[in-house]
Structure 1
Amino acid sequence: MDEHRLGLQPILRTVWAPTGQPLVRPVHPRDERRYIYAFVNPESGESRFWLVPVLNKEAYQAVMAAFAKSVGAGEDPQVLVVQDGGGFHVPAPQGHPPGVEPLTLPLYAPELQPAERLWALTDRTVANRYFDTLHDFSQTLAQQCAWLGTQPDLLSHHTLFHWWPLLSH
């Protein structure tokens, strides 16, 4: 599990242009944003995405509860959620949802986080683009997340590290 901040501050990527032609990218940076909470099973590529307006402990608690419900976490099955050490990763007063066991990675180790590799895929459809409104931006991003949710092989290809423990063996 990981979170990613995106918004109307443009994401610029390298693009090709004909020799001698000026490269023009319309931008109108604004400080409006959304956050993606993403969960991925590196082995199967199964994923869940939530697009939310804030990044705080209340949003974390709501997304964790929604995730637990979406995967049927409880006494059986138990779900291990690998996460970074974000200061907002605070469980609800009653603890994490039943059946969800968080595993916090060491600080400053994003290379250990499989979900960190999802952001190049989510950013792909919004990079080098101008959006009139945050709603237009959010719609495009939501469509990309929905599409990624139907691409388990692609997600597994990006998130299954050679050293990741395979649970089916």
Structure 2
Amino acid sequence: MWFIADGVNTALFSALLASFAAEVGAGPDKHVILVLDGAGWHVAKDLEVPEGLELMFLPPYSPQIQPAERLWPLTNEPIVNEYFETLEELDEVLAERCRSLADDQDQIRAHTLFEWWPHHN
């Protein structure tokens, strides 16, 4: 699941968590652990975490063990050294890249599965 936004806050992240939970089927019969960094909107007291989702947090200042950090080179690939006339143009290029990556799970896994990360069959 990809989401491109021009800002972040607790309300938006709560809505994204609800969408993610629905997408993966989290609920009373399926428990999903989501690993996050300690960004302010991830740890806010008024964050709404849907039933079936559990948030676990990485240690501070540890981007090297955050799988999502390894996706930035993939998302940046089509925009490096490019000029865009408008933000809408940039947004469309990034959205297309995210759509193509979403269809290429093998490439995502190759960049995000660490040798020490638990694997599921």
Query: What's the TM-score once normalised by structure 2's chain length?
Result: 0.92
Match for residue 108 of structure 2 among 132, 155, 162? 155
Amino acid aligned to 2:103? T
Q: Distance in 1 between matches of 2:111 and 2:18?
A: 26
Aligned position for 1:141: 94
Structure with bigger helix share is: 2
| TM-score for both structures, normalised by structure 1 | 0.67
TM-superposed deviation, 1:65: 1.2
CA displacement at 1:76 relative to structure 2: 2.1
Q: Equivalents in 2 of 1:92, 1:73: separation in Å?
A: 21
Q: Which runs of 4+ in 1 moved over 6 A?
A: none
**Structure 2 alignment gaps of length 5 or more:** none
Residue 28 of structure 2 contacts residue 52 of structure 2 at CA under 8 Å; is this kept in 1?
Answer: yes
- The reply on whether 1:164 has 2:117 as its aligned counterpart is yes
Q: 1:95 to 1:59 in 2, by over 3 A?
A: closer
In structure 2, what is the equivalent of residue 110 of structure 1?
Answer: 63
Deviation at 1:66, TM superposition (A): 1.2
Q: Identity over the aligned pairs, expressed in percent? A: 41
3-state SS, counterpart of residue 80 of structure 1: strand
Query: Quick one: distance in 2 between partners of 1:94 and 1:110?
Result: 22
**Counterpart Cα distance in 1 of 2:71 and 2:4:** 14
Which has the larger Rg? Answer: 1
1:53 Cα deviation (Å)?
A: 2.0
Q: 2:72 is matched with which residue?
A: 119
Q: Are 2:30 and 1:81 aligned?
A: no
Tell me the C-alpha RMSD between the 2 structures.
1.5
Aligned pairs for 1:12-161 (under 5 A) are 48-90=1-43, 93=46, 95-161=48-114
For 1:68 and 1:62, the matched residues in 2 are separated by: 10
The code of the aligned residue for 1:60 comes to F
Aligned residues: 121
Q: Describe the shift of the 1:91–1:65 C-alpha distance in structure 2 as closer, same or farther (beyond 3 A).
A: farther
Cα distance in 1 for partners of 2:12, 2:44 equals: 11
If each structure's strand is expressed as a fraction of its own residues, which one has the higher value?
1
Structure 1: which 5+ runs fail to align?
1-47
